[in-house]
Every structure is written in structure tokens, then in C-alpha cells.
Structure 1
């Protein structure tokens, strides 16, 4: 009985230690998520403004630009996956990787070859474990993304897009990341980045409206050449910030759940330890009473 009591007490100490760790990680994530949300709010208006500018040029010009024109046949598609460098975030990484598998299956069913660009150690480990190749991998800094990383990713995917598919290039680019909805919900989202197909921020005019007249200097093609790389970098950076905010929220939620579970374990093991201690005391009293009765009857 004493050995069982020692086991329960050891489990209580282990659960208490675990609770301290998870509680500390919960508080750290709670402090980081405020800054991550602020960075998302600051970057979103710029990303939308760039998107509107690109949409305006693409909509009100009659030029066929390589970055806005749908190719006749799409042979290779690039998928950029935004995961995290660390775990302990619930289903954060599993959800985005599952979404990437579904997208890859859809693209392959359309006869397209899929190439991957990975952001985060968890995505790299997922592909390495399955012995699958990736074009480029970026690790480190997913908790606090830097714009320089978004520029590097943008240059890599744009270079692949501008190359011919027969030379190792791609015909379209998709990005997959966790979109921050609120503290309890982070939703995997798939966006086709290139070729630009959705006009965002440009409303369709009604039949009585007068269409605006645009003049482009020096010319439309040079304007698109200048705007589209900036557009790609801003969208990638916004996705990185969204992913970082989602990761901190997922970590906070997971650590809160772990702390609650530790509390339940401590309560359960404390109850079992009290029962074991009570049984031990009862047994000791029974042995004392039994011994006293034996001595009394012997006289």
C-alpha cells in the first residue's frame, strides 16, 4: 500500500511540473499573439491596396502580360506551404499539410505535375519522412516573420514562374496557409497567386456607370512588371503573418487544454492518493487492534 501511495504522489508531482510548463507556454503565446495580430492589421491594408492597383491595371488594359494571362496548357504547378518551425500547436500543421495533400491530388487529377516550396521545419520534416523532394525550403523565423524572407520566397517562385515548364519552371502558383479567424478558429486557406485570375477590390460597374479612363506611364507592360513582384511579396508576407498569428493562437489553445488536463490529473491522483492513505491507516489500525486482542486473550 505504501508503494502505491508513493506512485500516486510521484504522478502528482509530475502533473504539477507539466502544468507549470504548459501554463508558462500559454502565457508566452498570449503575449506574442497580440503583437502578431497587430502586424497582420498593419500589413493587410497595404496588401489590399497593391491588389487593387494590380487589378486595375489588369482590368483596364488590353495587354497580354505573362503574369496575368492564363496559359493554354498548365503542365506544372507550384504549391507554397506555410507551416511552423515548432510543434505543440494542436492540429495547426496537420491541417495545412492535409489541405496541401488534397490540393496536390486535385492538381494531379488534372494532369499537372506538382512541385513544392516549403516554409517551416514541420513541413520540411513531413516531406523528409516520406522521402519527397521540394524545390526550396525556408526554416526559422516563422514565429516572427521578416519581410526579407517574403522577398526571397517571392523571387524564387517568380523566377520559377518565368521559366518554361520544360526547363523546370511552373505555369501556376498556389499558396496554402492558416488564416486567422479568431482565437478559437484558424482555417487552412488555398489561394492561387499566379496567374492573376480574381479581380479583388474592383467592383463591377452597372450599366449606367461611366468607366474610368486610365493612362499608364511609361506603358502598361512596365507598370505590370513593377507592380506584380510587389504584389506577390505583399501577399506572401501577409500569408506569413496570418500563419504566425494562427500558430500562436493554436499554441495558446493547446497549452490551455494541456493545463486543464493536468489539473484533472492532479485532482484524480490526489483522490486516489487519499484513498490509498486512508486504506493504509485503516489497515494499520486493524493490525494494532488485532494485536491488542491477541495479547489480551493470551492472558
Structure 2
């Protein structure tokens, strides 16, 4: 019985140590979520104005640019998957990887070859474990991406797209990332990055969304050459910021669940240890009473 109590106490100490670690990770993730949200909100005005400028330029300039031209016979597509570098974030990475697998199956059903581009060690480990070929991978910045990281990814993807399938590149580029909806909800999403899709079309915009007028100097084509790569990089950066906030939110929720489970387990183990201790005390009392009764009977018999 004493050995059983000792085992319970050892398990309580071990679970208490784990609880301290998960609680610390929960607090760290909570503090970083706010910073990630602030970074995303700070980048939103620039992204919005850049999107308006690109939309106006691509809509009203009537210039056929390689980044906006649909390939008639697209045979190869790139899929950029933005996952995490670290675990302990629940199903965050597995959800976005699963969404990437669904997109891959869809593209293959259309007769397109898929070339994966990966951000995050979890996605890289997933493909490496299954011995799948990867075009390029980037790691080390999933929870705090910088614009330079998005620029490096964007330059690689633009270079592959401009080369085309005939030149060893790709004809389409898709991004799979996790959009931050709220602290309790993060949703994997897929967007087609290139060729760029212009949503405004030729119809006049609404009164509250009037596109600004621009003069293109030296020409609309030159402006597109300079502006479209920045737009691509900024959109990738926005996806990375959304994914970072989603990763931190998922990690905080996972660590909170782990902390709560540790508290419940400690209460259960404490209750079991108390029951074992109570049983031990009852047994000791029974042994004492039994010994005293036996001694009393032996004394009475000798008299």
C-alpha cells in the first residue's frame, strides 16, 4: 500500500511540472497573439491601397501582363503551403496540410502536375517522411514572419511562374494558409495567387468604392512590371501574418486545454492517493485492534 501511495505522489509531481510548462506556453502564446494581430492590422491599410491601385491599373490600362494573363493550356501548378515550425498547436498544421492535400488532388484531377512549395518545418517533415519531392521550402519564421521572408518566397514563385511549364516553371500558383477568424476559430483557406484575378471587371464600381484615377508614367506596362511583384509579395506577407496569428491562437487554446486536463488529472490522482492513504490507515488500525484483542485474550487465558 505504501508503494502505491508513493507512485501516486510521483505522478502528481510529474503532472504538476507539465502543468507549469503548459501554463507558461499558454501565457507566451497569448502575449504574442496581440502583437501578431497588431502587425496584421498595421499592414492592412497599405495592402488595401495597393490592391486598389493594382485593380485600377489592371482593369483600366488594358495591358496584357505575364502575371495577369491566363495560360491557355496550364499543365503545372505550384502550391504554397504555410504551416508552422513548431508543434503543440493542436490540429493547426494538420488542418492546413490536409487542405493542401485536397487542393493537390483537385489539381491532379484536372490533369495538372503539382509542385509543392512549403513554409514551416511541420509541412516539410510531412513531405519528407512520405519521400515526396519538394520544389522549395522555407523555415524558421512561422510565428513571426518578416516582409523579407515574404519577399524571398514571392521572388521564387514569380520566377517560376514567368518561366512557365515549358521552361521548367509553373503555370499557376495557389496558396494554402490559415485565416484568423477569432481566438476560437481559424479556418484553412485556398487562394489562387497567379495569374492574378481582377474582380472589378469593366462595370463601374459602387459609389463607396470608386477606384482612383491614375496617370501611368512612363507607361502602364512599366508600372505593372514594378507594381505587380510588390502586390504578390504583400499578399504572401498578409497570408503569413494571418497564419502566424492563427498558429498562436491554436497553440494558446491547445495549451489551455492541456493545463485544464493536468489540473483534472492532479485532482483525480490526489483523490486516489487520499483513498489509498485512508485504506492504509484503516488497515493499520485494524491490525492494531486485532493485535490488542489477541493480546487481551492471551492474557486472560494465562490467568
Give the TM-score, by structure 1 length: 0.95
Cα distance, 1:166 vs structure 2: 2.2
Cα distance, 1:67 vs structure 2: 0.9
Work out whether 1:189 is the aligned partner of 2:204.
no
In the alignment, structure 2 segments of 5+ residues that lack a partner are none
Q: Secondary structure at the match of 1:34?
A: helix
In structure 2, the partner of 1:286 is 286
In structure 2, the partner of 1:85 is 85
Cα distance, 1:48 vs structure 2: 1.8
Aligned partners of 1:80 and 1:119 also within 8 Å: yes
Cα distance, 1:205 vs structure 2: 3.6
Q: Deviations over 1:198-256 (max 9, x none)?
A: 426998447xxx99865422112111111100000100111111111111111110000
Distance in 2 of aligned mates of 1:214 and 1:270: 72
Aligned partners of 2:59 and 2:201 also within 8 Å: no
Cα distance, 1:146 vs structure 2: 1.1
Cα distance, 1:93 vs structure 2: 0.2
Q: Deviations over 1:87-123 (max 9, x none)?
A: 0000110110000000000000000100011111111
Cα distance, 1:61 vs structure 2: 2.1
| CA distance 1:219–1:260, shift in 2 (3 Å) | same
Aligned partners of 1:52 and 1:200 also within 8 Å: no
In structure 2, the partner of 1:225 is 225
Paired residues in the alignment total 297
Work out whether 1:253 is the aligned partner of 2:253.
yes
Q: Secondary structure at the match of 2:80?
A: strand
Distance in 2 of aligned mates of 1:283 and 1:165: 81
Taking the TM superposition and a 5 Å limit, the aligned residue runs for 1:131-280 are 131-199=131-199, 204-205=204-205, 215-280=215-280
Work out whether 1:33 is the aligned partner of 2:33.
yes
Distance in 2 of aligned mates of 1:203 and 1:290: 98
Give the TM-score, by structure 2 length: 0.94
Distance in 1 of aligned mates of 2:236 and 2:214: 28
- Let me know the Cα RMSD of the aligned residues: 1.9
Q: Secondary structure at the match of 1:255?
A: helix
